[in-house]
Amino acid sequence: MPAYSTALSSLIEEFSLDLVYLPRPAEEIYISRSDTNRPALALSGFFNLFEPDRIQLIGNAEHEFLASMNEKTLRKRVFNFMAQCPVAVIFTTGLTVFPEFIEAAMIYAVPILSTQSTTSYFTAALIGSLSLSLAPRITRHGVLVEVYGEGILISGESGIGKSETAIELVKRGHRLIADDAVDIRKVSAKSLVGRAPSSIRHYAELRGVGIIDVCRLFGMGAVKESEKIDFVISLEQWDSEKFYDRMGLENEYCEIMGIKVPQVTIPVRPGRNLAVIIEIAAMNNRQKRMGYNTAEEFNKQMLLQAGVDPSAYNHPH
């Protein structure tokens, strides 16, 4: 049994699909697979490995193949195909729906829809939407913000200043995605996307002030529905007994749903401007992704000045 599903009605609304036939309300029809299928083999009578829980897309190739058949063969192929009870059949590119499909849909209770979009464009958009809707997910305590295009998950114990830092970042022109609770979805083997639970979307809690509506206070440009998680910043109370990396040579990671995400631990104490530090950390992380590591370059210069060949010096990462 799939862990998650999405109602067909949400896809109809998102992609402005035209309704040809629905056996029951679209809100009661659920999609549980993000994959789609072009059923050319099934329409030729080959049903080995056919997966009816995938949305079936009829494009130009399938349409021309069916149009080349005589009426008797067409009817047989369509009814055999619809007897597999696919979760939904969508005709793309504004193609005409064969009457045999509608007749068979009424018998086997199969939804039929159509779109004006081309098959390739619609396939990519549909898979992208379903991959997000059906992705495995967890909820993490923290704050998610977008800073200079980087999705940053701020973690740390309650009361350490995550929400206050996020509001300061918003005031500096960045965007809030989620405060207090972050729904994280694993949309691919390497990608995590975070968003706020619908009940607390655009809200933030400031101790001593209460709940604020960030969208109403700062405008629509201050919030965002979702964001890819590129970086984690962990806030912790300053510990004078603990060693903190002052060079940035050590690469720190945290694991979320099996994906390693770069992480930086920032010690908090009075007088430190966390918003500015996070802005710098965001730009530095982007720079690293682009292939330039300031700490490593600085270390090379120091080694050269000391007469040490940097290529012979292996720094433990």
| Residues belonging to the active site | 141, 162, 180, 246
Hey, what amino acid is at 18?
A: D
DSSP conformation class of 46: -
- CA distance to 44, 62, 180, 261, per residue, from 258 (Å): 41, 39, 22, 9
Bridge partners (DSSP) of residue 223 are 176
- CA 281/CA 12 separation, integer angstroms: 41
Concatenating the DSSP letter of every residue in 240-304 gives TTS---SS--S-EEEEETTEEEEEEEEEE-TT--HHHHHHHHHHHHHHHHTT--HHHHHHHHHHH
Distance of CA 201 to the CA centre of its chain: 17
- Of 82, 88, 111, nearest to 23 by C-alpha is 111
Query: For 8, left (φ over 0), alpha (ψ -120 to 50), or beta?
Result: alpha
Count the Cβ atoms, other than its own, within 10 Å of residue 97.
Answer: 18
Q: Say how many residues make up the chain.
A: 317
Bridge partners (DSSP) of residue 236 are 267
- CA 266/CA 144 separation, integer angstroms: 16
